[in-house]
Structure 1
Amino acid sequence: MWIHASCSLDFNITVASPFLFMLRPRSGWQQWVGREEYVLSPGIPAVEFTDPFGNLCQRLMAPPGKFSIRTSVNVECAEASDSAPGAHFVEIQQLPEETLPFLLPSRFCESDRFSHMAASIVTDHNPGYDQCTAIVDYIRRSIRYTPGAGMDIVSACEVNQRSDAVCRDLAHLGIACCRALSIPARMVVGYLENLHPMDLHAWFEAYVGGRWYTFDPTQDNLTGGRIAIAYGRDAADVAIYTQFGNPAELLAMSVTVQRIQSPA
């Protein structure tokens, strides 16, 4: 199926400020970008580069005054994310090299502090996909998904002490527990069809059965089209924008996601 998604950001810039944006999804085996628009107002030069995780990043110097970005994209993707109960655990010596960074503790996913907890969660579950499912079930039982519950980024250790959290923070906990079991796990930021309230969304992927699979503690199933924009070790790697210098004021942000008939 085809999904149309858009994101608009409006800023008030007091002094010329350098920005890094991460707003362009790329085609891959799970999604195909058919059409895309990326408009800066006022129109200014921008340079694009690819970060170590393969994300498309845009670098620019925003001028003083009102500054806005309008992006839209038509992407072909599946109506639901793949699932594979029973998919096997991949021994570390058999993992592809590109998955190895996603085994290590990171700033917001302190996996070295979750060994005992993760082991207790997955007792009696087969190594691999079924362990990841057990972790997601634990998170859903223990912490309430509350959109807009907090603006500050919360680490896995911190969210594990809370009763509610946003999607990004739930993903951090899932990632930390998977890595504690030597399962590579990475954060994903993107669009999700039928999200309420509509916003950009975060989930995680784990490498089991020889490929990456989607896991989302905010859902009781994996239905709805997804468009991945960025991948990383945790939220520090997948910020949709990073501004340097005197803080700029974000005046408005708008996200839309809807199913369409074709990319035309």
Structure 2
Amino acid sequence: MWLHASCLLEFNIPVDTPFLLMLRPRSGRQQWIGREQYVMLPSVRAVEFTDPFGNLCQRLVAPAGPFSIKTSVDVECADASDTAPGSPFVEVQNLPEETLPFLLPSRFCESDRFTQMVAALVKGRSSGYDQCAAIVDYISQTLQYTPGSGQQCKSACEVNESSQVVCRDMAHLGIACCRALSIPARMVVGYLETLEPMDLHAWFEAFVGGRWYTFDPTQKNLQGGRVAVAYGRDAADVAIYTQFGEPVTLTRMDISVKRMSVPLY
């Protein structure tokens, strides 16, 4: 199917301010970019590069005053994410090199502190996908998903002691638990067609059975098209915008995701 996704960010900039943006999804195994638009008002020079995780990043200096960024994209993707119960654990010595950074503890995913808890949590489950599914069940049954409830980024340890959390928090806990089992896990930020209320969304992927699979503790199933915008070890790697210097005010943020007919262009 095809999705049309858009993101509008409006800022009030006190002084000329450097920005690092991560707003362009790329084509890959799970999605194909048919058309995209990227408009900044006022128009400024931007330089694009690819970060160590393969994300498309844009550098620019926003001028003082009102500043807006509008992106939109037409994407061909599946109408549901793949599942693979029983898919096996991949031994560390057999993992592809590109997955290895996603085995280690990171700023918001202290996987070295979850070894004992996770061992008890997945007891009796087959190594691999089924263990990841048990982790997702634990998170969704233990924590209350409350969109908009937290602006402060929490680490997995903090999340595990919380009650109300957002999607980013749940992803952090899932990632930390998977890595504690030597299963590579990474954070994904992007669009989810069925999300209510609509916003940018975060979930995680785990590498089992020789490929990455989607896991999302905020959803009862994996129905609905997803558009991945950025991948990273945790939220520190996948911020859609980072500004440097004096604080700026985000005055408006609008996200839209809609199904569309097959484009004719």
Per the normalisation by structure 2, the TM-score is 0.99
Partner of 1:148: 148
- Report the AA paired with residue 102 of structure 2: F
Superposition pairs of residues 81-92 of structure 1, within 5 angstroms: 81-92=81-92
Is the partner of 2:22 in helix, strand or coil? strand
Describe the superposition over 1:93-121 as per-residue Cα deviations: whole angstroms up to 9, x where unpaired: 00000000000000000000000011111
Distance 1:36 1:42 in 2: 19
Per the normalisation by structure 1, the TM-score is 0.99
Superposition pairs of residues 187-202 of structure 1, within 5 angstroms: 187-202=187-202
Please report how far the alpha carbon of residue 263 of structure 1 lies from its aligned counterpart in structure 2 after TM superposition: 3.1
Distance 2:199 2:205 in 1: 19
Partner of 1:177: 177
Distance 1:201 1:263 in 2: 25
Partner of 2:247: 247
Partner of 1:95: 95
Please report how far the alpha carbon of residue 152 of structure 1 lies from its aligned counterpart in structure 2 after TM superposition: 0.6
Q: Please tell me whether the aligned partners of residues 35 and 263 of structure 1 are also in contact (alpha carbons under 8 angstroms).
A: no
Is the partner of 2:245 in helix, strand or coil? coil
Please report how far the alpha carbon of residue 231 of structure 1 lies from its aligned counterpart in structure 2 after TM superposition: 0.1
Structure 1 gaps, min length 5: none
Is the partner of 2:120 in helix, strand or coil? helix
Distance 1:93 1:206 in 2: 17
Please report how far the alpha carbon of residue 220 of structure 1 lies from its aligned counterpart in structure 2 after TM superposition: 1.0
| 1:258 maps onto 2:262 in alignment | no
Distance 1:117 1:74 in 2: 42
Distance 1:204 1:145 in 2: 15
Partner of 2:51: 51
- Report the AA paired with residue 10 of structure 2: D
Describe the superposition over 1:54-81 as per-residue Cα deviations: whole angstroms up to 9, x where unpaired: 0000000000000000000000000000
Partner of 1:186: 186
Please report how far the alpha carbon of residue 164 of structure 1 lies from its aligned counterpart in structure 2 after TM superposition: 1.3
Is the partner of 2:85 in helix, strand or coil? coil
Aligned residues: 264
Partner of 1:32: 32
Is the partner of 1:222 in helix, strand or coil? coil
Distance 1:246 1:262 in 2: 44
Superposition pairs of residues 76-225 of structure 1, within 5 angstroms: 76-225=76-225
Distance 1:194 1:84 in 2: 21
Distance 2:232 2:176 in 1: 13
| 1:65 maps onto 2:73 in alignment | no
- Report the AA paired with residue 79 of structure 1: D
Please report how far the alpha carbon of residue 194 of structure 1 lies from its aligned counterpart in structure 2 after TM superposition: 1.7
Is the partner of 2:138 in helix, strand or coil? helix
Describe the superposition over 1:205-248 as per-residue Cα deviations: whole angstroms up to 9, x where unpaired: 00000000000000110000000000000000000000000001
Is the partner of 2:246 in helix, strand or coil? coil
Please report how far the alpha carbon of residue 135 of structure 1 lies from its aligned counterpart in structure 2 after TM superposition: 0.1
Partner of 2:22: 22
Distance 2:263 2:160 in 1: 42
Q: Please tell me whether the aligned partners of residues 75 and 263 of structure 1 are also in contact (alpha carbons under 8 angstroms).
A: no
Describe the superposition over 1:162-220 as per-residue Cα deviations: whole angstroms up to 9, x where unpaired: 11100000000000000000000000000000211100000000000000000000011
Report runs of 4+ in structure 1 exceeding 3 Å deviation.
Answer: none
Distance 2:237 2:21 in 1: 11
RMSD over aligned CA atoms reads: 0.5
Structure 2 gaps, min length 5: none
Please report how far the alpha carbon of residue 133 of structure 1 lies from its aligned counterpart in structure 2 after TM superposition: 0.1
